[in-house]
Amino acid sequence: MAFVTLKQILLETREKKYAVPSIGADNHVLFEAVLQQAEAENKPVILMIPGFLLKEMDPCFFEYARLRIIQSSVPVCLHLDHAASYEECMNGIKYGFSSLMIDGSSLSYEENVTLTKRVVEAARPCGISVEAEIGHVAGGEGNNNDGNEVDVDAFTNPGEAERFAKETGVDALAIAFGTVHGVYKGTPKLNLELLDEIRGRVEIPIVMHGGSGLSDEDFRNAVSHGISKINFCTGLFLNTTEAARAAIEANGNKMQLPAVLGVIQKRAREEVSHLFEVYHTQSVDLKNIAHK
């Protein structure tokens, strides 16, 4: 079955030195665009929806998402991103996500461990993966257009990352080493030495949040130094919106909705194809990961 967990879809990333894109797709237009491009290139992909949107979205969307993924020809993970509470994670289980990210990064280390362990204990019997964050990536979810600055003081401590992974039993770990959520203020500078140290001490896949604003070289460096999953959301939203705006203006502001949606899907597919190339994403044989 094409519907896989985060643990399964990232299984080969460390050995083969590639990353899988995790792309914001909280509506049918972007969801289909991302999935169709993954199918066209035979590449695995993670489709993510932020936790704060669960209460606002029609539950029928999640039913469509699951059925659409099951019918896909490539491995796909449906990921709940940045759930802020245990309750949001439980709703993610209820709605059929195959992966949950519990974000306790703003809590104390001890509180983060306690919350994360509780989610892992609930999700694991259901066959659902869990991602967590140690350190804190600047910015938040849902209002990122004004831009965010890097907070060096919140970078991940390698020793804490090692302890956290062992104490919680999570399947993937998001770290802070120079990215921000939303629009990037200033010039990005990733601390690759810190990433190397964390990668050397943590056996599970390492995740990079806040990909918007980075150059292709930044992404390639992150992947070559051990990043397995890269979140990409704000950049996709901004670039598809700009493509739609330009097309509407080029047609004398008389463009009808179906044509506008077509422009958005085309630009989204181009963005996804570019991410596959930059992240060096490789095809995955479903039979190799189905029972892992």
Number of C-alpha atoms within 13 angstroms, CB side, residue 70? 8
CA–CA distance, 25 with 97 (Å, rounded to integer): 13
Fold of 6-240+274-289: TIM Barrel (3.20.20)
Active site residues: 81
Contacts of 37 (CB under 8 A, 6+ apart): 268, 269, 272, 273, 276
Enter the pTM of the model. Answer: 0.92
What are the boundaries of each domain within the chain?
6-240+274-289
Strand partners, 77: 46
- For 237-253, write each residue's pLDDT tens digit: 999 999 999 999 999 88
Contact criterion met (CB below 8 Å) for 136 and 175: no
- For 111-168, write each residue's pLDDT tens digit: 999 999 999 999 999 999 999 999 877 655 544 455 556 667 778 999 999 999 999 9
pLDDT reported for residue 143: 46
C-alpha distances out from residue 23 to 47, 67, 168, 223, 224, Å: 5, 18, 25, 16, 20
CA–CA distance, 103 with 83 (Å, rounded to integer): 6
The mean predicted confidence, pLDDT, of the chain is: 91
- For 71-114, write each residue's pLDDT tens digit: 999 999 999 999 999 999 999 999 999 999 999 998 999 999 99
Contacts of 56 (CB under 8 A, 6+ apart): none
Q: Is the pLDDT of residue 287 over 70?
A: yes
